[in-house]
Structure 1
């Protein structure tokens, strides 16, 4: 199974403008730029999108883990705080903190903590930080 997204950029680093799109159409040429990423101007940025993907993936993974334990959540709300720091000469995502609030009848806190940790460890987006990344780069003339 493959999913795709794309980005387009025109101009320089600080004065340029870009757009981000997804195959599903959830994002369709959504604008982003330097000010949205580094100066707190309202708009999207890659780090926010990684946070949304991580929160969604983890929550769904936890639903699967709970189901495997014979449990079903009434409600789960997950927030992902992505820390984006200057490191050396560049920028890095240095941490993602997931905050989960859930109502899961029929379980105790110790079991819930164990299941949540299992979901975090097995969430595909959690794993992507350790994944091999390949690149094909073509310079057009």
Structure 2
């Protein structure tokens, strides 16, 4: 399987702007700029997209691991905070809140760690990955 996205940039770094388009067209000429990345401009930015990718990938991986048990998932919500410091993504913090019937907190935490270490986006990163998980 292969997926793709395209970035088009026009102009200088600070005054210019770009658009992102994904194969699925979910992003279709979606704007991004220096201001949306480093200030408070309108549009998305690479770190926000990486955060979305990591949150989505991790949540699907956790769902798969929980699916191997007898537990019943009501919901899993994952927030991902990506930190960019001095030009380097230096951490990805996952915050998980889940409503699951039939699973102990100990087993849940074990599966969270397993998903954190095994989702494809986690494997892609060369950075610190951590998680905080709450079973409600």
TM-score, reference length from structure 1: 0.86
Between 1:69-78 and 1:21-30, the stretch displaced more is 69-78
Give the distance between the partners of 1:9 and 1:61, measured in 2 at CA. Answer: 34
Does 1:58 pair with 2:54? Answer: no
Partner of 1:104: 100
Contact 2:74/2:99 (<8 A) preserved: yes
Give the distance between the partners of 2:93 and 2:43, measured in 1 at CA. Answer: 21
Contact 2:18/2:31 (<8 A) preserved: yes
Q: Secondary structure at the match of 1:19?
A: strand
| Shift in Å, 1:41 | 2.0
Give the distance between the partners of 1:68 and 1:8, measured in 2 at CA. Answer: 42
Q: C-alpha deviations, 1:88-127, integer Å up to 9, x for none?
A: xxx1111110000001110111110001111111101111
Contact 1:63/1:72 (<8 A) preserved: no
Gaps of 5+ in 1: 131-141
Q: RMSD between aligned alpha carbons?
A: 1.0
| Shift in Å, 1:69 | 2.1
Q: C-alpha deviations, 1:26-57, integer Å up to 9, x for none?
A: 00010100000011223200100000011011
Partner of 2:23: 23
Give the distance between the partners of 1:80 and 1:97, measured in 2 at CA. Answer: 6
| Shift in Å, 1:65 | 0.4
Which structure shows the higher strand fraction?
Answer: 2
TM-score, reference length from structure 2: 0.89
